[in-house]
Amino acid sequence: MKTIKRYITWSIICCGILSGSCTKWMDIKPENGLVAQDFWQTKEHVRSAVNGIYISLLNSNLAEQLFVHGELRTDMVELTTFTNLQLDEYRYANLNSSNPSVHWAPFYRIINFCNNVIENAPKVKDIDPTLTQADLDAYIGEALAIRAWMYLNLGRIWGDVPLKLNYTASDEEELNIAKSGQADIFAAVVADLVRAEPMVKETFGTTTAADKGKVTKYTVNALLADVYLWQDDFQKAAAACDVLINSGKFDLVPGNPSSWLNVLFATGNSIEGIFELQYDRQFLNNFIALFSLNPRYQVGQNVYENLYMIDETDPENFDIRGNRGSLDASTGQIYKYQAINRDVRKTLEESYTHWFVYRYADVLLMKAEALNGMEQGEKALELIYQVRERANALVFNDLAPNENDFQGITSFLVDERAREFAYEGKRWFDVLRHARRNNYARLDLITNMVMSYAPPDRQQAMLNKYRDPGSHYLPIYFTELQMNKALVQNPFYGN
């Protein structure tokens, strides 16, 4: 009897302890972080989520991705002995779906951060009345613009991609999404940007770094101009450029050989900058390592001699973007991202030259492209010469096309963009955008470029692949195909 009583007492005590610990266990939260249910409560939460998007632009290796996709398939670079097989296969048109270079994860990762803000930030307004509508709009606008930028990249790199416009919080959600066509992707980009345009701020009113490093009305218009050009909507592209040109807030950095490089690139956030990825001493990039210490990429064989050219008779007459501008001729290294000025290089600890998403010269040349598309050759040439004069481009590469020679202007413009935006991740997209216009009327832009860097034993194979437009877009990485059953591989890459 005594034993039974003791049993009962013990079991009651045990139950008490167990049930107590149960509730606590169900309720435990991390001590040094926030969980989803506690987030999206105050305006500070919204702010930090938006800042998180900007941080993700820096820490997801986006700049190198854009460099690889924008430059690797072009005559601007050459691979070095530090390179690896995956880049080799990419450059020589031997891509397949197991090449890690074709993984689009960094882009969708950033898109998901944007989706999070776009979907959840509006709810905060009800909880925290101190969040004004204007601020909320600005935050959402920034997220929309960055999402649009990411989809613009996806559309021009992979062609058809899945369009995911809502936030993914966990793996349990339905993630089998089919591809949308490239045209639909670009339409979605335009829709996002048009929605964002009236929402974002014209200036943050704090530092230049904020105005150049975060999305403003001008960033949105630069993006709009870009995507309109991909849609061949020249009227709207020119109008978007005009918003920047007429604002009076931007200008070209004067082409003084001793200061130009320092002001525009080494220091950054100049009057020419529109949207720059803001690396700094606290947040270094890996450009010095990439272009100088163990350079994987170096200057293409013909860049200095045939693109920028040399004045044999007068050494003082040179294109400031050439030797010791974009490149260092004596070492064959890409110089733009390691320069303090013409003579001095940055050290590893100073590797914080920004990544230039858009700058004013780009807007001028985008407008020139739009004007040329609208058959206003004279005005287009004026803008091209404005950019050339700043850089002291040599007369030898002035193709001097007639104002009615729109194909000639196109070739001139594509070359000029190569000189102006060397190594800024634009070359391949420039060539592709111009080549594909009017049902690939200028396929020669691609084939001529490929011919200039193809090794002899691969030349024919590469050329014939590039004659197939399917090869201009990348395959879908195999893990994506395994996980998302709704995806179909791009036909060029077979099974």
Residues lying near other proteins in the complex (CB under 8 A) are found at: 81, 89, 94, 96, 301, 304-305, 310, 315, 323, 329-332, 440, 448, 451, 456-471, 492, 494-495
- CB of 385 or CB of 440, closer to other proteins: 440
Is residue 129 classed as helix, strand or coil in its secondary structure? coil
- CB of 19 or CB of 81, closer to other proteins: 81
Cα atoms in the 13 Å half-sphere on the side-chain side of 169: 7
Q: How far is the CB of 224 from other proteins (least distance, A)?
A: 31
First to last CA, the chain: 77
Other Cβ atoms less than 10 A from the Cβ of 210: the count is 15
Instruction: Report how far residue 251's alpha carbon sits from residue 246's, in angstroms, rounded to the nearest whole number.
Output: 11
Q: How far is the CB of 66 from other proteins (least distance, A)?
A: 24
Q: How far is the CB of 465 from other proteins (least distance, A)?
A: 4
Instruction: Report how far residue 12's alpha carbon sits from residue 17's, in angstroms, rounded to the nearest whole number.
Output: 9
Q: How far is the CB of 240 from other proteins (least distance, A)?
A: 32
Q: How far is the CB of 331 from other proteins (least distance, A)?
A: 7
Other Cβ atoms less than 10 A from the Cβ of 298: the count is 21
Contact criterion met (CB below 8 Å) for 230 and 190: no
- CB of 94 or CB of 484, closer to other proteins: 94
Q: What is the CA radius of gyration of the chain?
A: 26
Q: How far is the CB of 444 from other proteins (least distance, A)?
A: 11
- CB of 404 or CB of 459, closer to other proteins: 459
DSSP 345: B
The contacts of residue 9 (CB under 8 Å, 6+ apart) are: none
- CB of 92 or CB of 107, closer to other proteins: 92
Q: How far is the CB of 176 from other proteins (least distance, A)?
A: 24
- CB of 122 or CB of 332, closer to other proteins: 332
Other Cβ atoms less than 10 A from the Cβ of 363: the count is 25
Contact criterion met (CB below 8 Å) for 231 and 160: no
- CB of 81 or CB of 130, closer to other proteins: 81
- CB of 232 or CB of 305, closer to other proteins: 305
Q: How far is the CB of 419 from other proteins (least distance, A)?
A: 16
Q: Which of 221, 217, 194, 234 is nearest to 373 (CA)?
A: 234
- CB of 93 or CB of 239, closer to other proteins: 93
The contacts of residue 172 (CB under 8 Å, 6+ apart) are: none
- CB of 180 or CB of 301, closer to other proteins: 301
The contacts of residue 157 (CB under 8 Å, 6+ apart) are: 69, 104, 473, 474
- CB of 143 or CB of 303, closer to other proteins: 303
Instruction: Report how far residue 214's alpha carbon sits from residue 266's, in angstroms, rounded to the nearest whole number.
Output: 19
- CB of 39 or CB of 492, closer to other proteins: 492
Beta bridge mates, 77: 299
Q: How far is the CB of 478 from other proteins (least distance, A)?
A: 11
Query: How large is the greatest C-alpha to C-alpha distance in the chain, in angstroms?
Result: 116
Contact criterion met (CB below 8 Å) for 477 and 100: yes
Q: How far is the CB of 288 from other proteins (least distance, A)?
A: 18
Return the exposure string of 313-352: e unless at least 16 CB atoms fall within 10 Å of the residue's CB, then b. eeeeebbbbbbbbbbbbeebbbbbbbbbbbeeebeeeebb
Q: How far is the CB of 269 from other proteins (least distance, A)?
A: 32
DSSP 339: B
Is residue 398 classed as helix, strand or coil in its secondary structure? coil
Q: How far is the CB of 246 from other proteins (least distance, A)?
A: 40
Q: How far is the CB of 103 from other proteins (least distance, A)?
A: 17
Instruction: Report how far residue 341's alpha carbon sits from residue 348's, in angstroms, rounded to the nearest whole number.
Output: 16
Instruction: Report how far residue 122's alpha carbon sits from residue 131's, in angstroms, rounded to the nearest whole number.
Output: 10
- CB of 205 or CB of 315, closer to other proteins: 315
Q: What is the DSSP string of 417-467?
A: HHHHTTTTT-HHHHHHHHHHHHHHTTHHHHHHHHHHH--GGGHHHHHHHHT
Contact criterion met (CB below 8 Å) for 97 and 477: yes
